[in-house]
Structure 1
Amino acid sequence: PTGNIGIIGWYVPPWLAAKYPDITNWENLNKYADMFKTSESGDAGQFLGSDPSFVQFDEAIVKNLDLDFEVVFAGGEAASIEAFRKAEENKEPLIGYFYEPQWFMSEVPLVKVALPPYEEGCQDNEEEVACDYPNTELKKIVATEWSTSDSTAVDLVKNFQWTNEDQNLVAKYISADGMSPEEAAAKWIEENPDKVEAWLGA
């Protein structure tokens, strides 16, 4: 494993979770539904979907958990990021689909809403989904021949471990701060010597 966990789920901006701590449990969402109403969601609260082509079961989850929300699609990642950014800056209510690792989490650390826990098979029938998305452990894959060679890089790859937060930060350096990948890597290495030494077996 790389140390990264792929996470998909429902998120709210930090200010909202701080002001209404129980909003991070799906069982309390209906009492806040009116807060999320928009012209696009009508009489229901708006749930901001991302891109309909993404892996998502949000409409089924809303229906099967009997939540008073309407899924409105942002249209893509950039639109979702901008919506969450504005929601945090302007202290506006927003709940929507997001995922990590993702560089934006280093700018605005969105807070995940707890849905009913994922269990094997709970998403087999797309129309009946009423559970959270599964977490995915990201793994390393290398050629067998190379892994048994005497290359000094083999141990580096074997020892490599970092967190979603580490990856989010390096990705932010590149995507938001305009650094080259080499500059971003150098900055992170300078700030995390202990982790790098562990990778190198130092």
Structure 2
Amino acid sequence: MTFARPAAAVLSTLLVATALSGTPASAAENDDPIRLTLHDWTGQLISTRIMGEVLKKAGYNIEYVQADYIAQFAGLKTGDLHVAMEIWETTGRDALDEATATGKVENLGDSGMFAIEEWWYPSYMKEVCPGLPDWKALKSEACAEAFGTAETLPKGRYLGAPVTWGGYDDERVEALDLPFEVVHAGTDAALFAELESAYQRKAPVLLWVYAPHWAPLKYDGEWVEFPAYEKACYEDPAWGSNPDMAYDCGKPRGPIWKVAWAGLKDQWPGAHKAISAFSIDNDEMGGLITKADLDGEPVEKVVATWIDENQDRWSAWIK
């Protein structure tokens, strides 16, 4: 036989449990799922799952949804998707500006991480391509051949990121008249597997490398120094060395932004506040990515360990 417990007793028990855990028993305004987008690079999976698991601690119903990096903005505008934890200034700014201008998407501020995405080469390649890191060194036939493969010779090969990441590398090659062929890696993992293989053999490689990431920490190398990015470079063909084409400069650098459906603040104000408070810097994220990509820990374990070791930090986000 069971007996109904008095409401006061239930509330007392709940408050005791909350005090012991250091987190709210439930701060969720409703049971509707908050949909966080997942993409195809390790750091984004980590930052998204950290935020999602923290929101679960506050009682929110969380769904993780695989989504294309740029195409996700369509879902964020309609409210079919709710939160994107990493929009990089380097590649996502155009899509972010267009989406926020509609009033249907909100920028929740920077994540604490600073983005660099650019052409990168191992330092040993400077021996066969004198003049690096200046981009003009890549214009020489000798340098192009030094970076070439059987499939691209006499042109050099530049290994770009998956096409869905954007970045305008094909346009950059054409605008700067570089004797290179852009070959896009199929996945983030394939991109860095090729770097690992080439580096071990001291083989030619020129590829897209980004930070925060373990690669520029593990390997000795440099980013190519293109003409510094200005907004006009992407918008005005008259800007820069090629008067007829845009994108004759390097990629922008800047914050990694947190973005949400504009209705988030009304439907889940507590979650809106927590996501706005989320912050992790490059060094910390680089270490977490290293655990997953180099040490072989599942992303879920990396996140669970971070949650266990940083309770004071994330508890303040959901306070």
- The alignment yields a C-alpha RMSD, in angstroms, of 3.7
Count of matched residue pairs = 193
Q: Which residue of 2 aligns with 1:9?
A: 118
Unaligned residue ranges in structure 1 (runs of 5+): 190-195
Give 1:26 deviation, angstroms. Answer: 0.4
Match of 2:131 among 22, 29, 46: 22
Q: Which amino acid counterpart does residue 169 of structure 1 have in structure 2?
A: G
Cα distance in structure 2, aligned partners of 1:83 and 1:2: 29
Name the SS for the 2:226 alignment partner.
coil
Once residues 19 and 162 of structure 1 are traced to their aligned partners in structure 2, the CA distance between those partners, rounded to angstroms, is 38
Q: Which amino acid in the other structure matches residue 205 of structure 2?
A: L
Alpha-carbon deviations, 1:131-161, whole Å to 9, x = none?
A: 11111313568988999x9xxxx9x999986
1:80 paired residue number: 191
Provide Cα deviations, 1:1-52, integer angstroms capped at 9, x if missing partner: 4431122211112433588673222011123111012122131111112222
Question: Is 2:166 aligned against 1:55?
Answer: yes
Residue 131 (str. 1) matches residue 249 (str. 2): yes
**SS of structure 2 residue aligned to 1:138:** strand
Name the aligned partner's letter for residue 288 of structure 2: V
Partner Cα distance (1:103, 1:39) in 2 = 29
* Separation in 2, partners of 1:40, 1:182: 39
Name the CA shift for 1:187/1:17 in 2 (closer, same or farther; >3 Å).
farther
Structure 1: how far apart are the matches of 2:111 and 2:220?
A: 21
Report if the CA contact (8 A) 1:4-1:137 is conserved. Answer: yes
* Secondary structure, aligned partner of 1:123: helix
SS at match of 2:198: helix
1:102 corresponds to: 213
Q: Check whether the contact 1:11–1:95 (CA below 8 A) recurs between aligned residues.
A: yes
Checking the alignment, whether the CA contact within 8 Å between 1:2 and 1:139 is kept in structure 2 is yes
Instruction: Give distance in 2, aligned partners of 1:42 and 1:26.
Output: 19
Secondary structure at the aligned position of 1:82 is classed as helix
Which shifted more, 119-128 or 1-10?
119-128
Q: Name which of structure 1's ranges 112-121 and 138-147 shifts more when overlaid on structure 2.
A: 138-147
* Secondary structure of residue in 2 paired with 1:97: strand
* Inter-partner Cα distance in structure 2 for 1:21 and 1:161: 40
Q: Compute the TM-score of the two structures, normalised by the length of structure 2.
A: 0.48
Moved more, 68-77 or 133-142: 133-142
How far did 1:84 drift? 0.9
Q: Give the corresponding residue for 1:192.
A: none
Native 8 Å contact 1:37 1:44 kept in 2:
yes
Structure 1 residue 176: Cα displacement: 2.5
Structure (1 or 2) with the larger CA radius of gyration: 2
Q: Percent identity among equivalent residues? A: 27
Q: Which residue of 1 aligns with 2:290?
A: 172
- The answer (yes or no) to whether the contact 2:157–2:180 under 8 Å persists in 1 is yes
Q: Is the 8 A contact 2:114 2:255 kept in 1?
A: yes
What is the distance in 2 between the residues matched to 1:96 and 1:167?
21
**Which has the larger share of strand?**
2
What amino acid sits opposite 1:63 in the alignment?
E
* Contact 2:144 2:154 (8 Å CA) reproduced: no
More divergent stretch after superposition (101-110 vs 167-176): 101-110
* Residue identity matched to 2:179: D
Q: CA distance change for structure 1 residues 166 and 105 in 2, over 3 Å: closer, same or farther?
A: farther
Distance 1:42-1:170 versus aligned 2 partners, 3 A rule: same
Find the aligned partners of 2:158 and 2:284 in 1 and give their Cα distance.
29
**Which of 78-87 and 137-146 deviates more?**
137-146
Alpha-carbon distance between aligned partners in 2 of 1:78 and 1:37, rounded to the nearest angstrom: 22
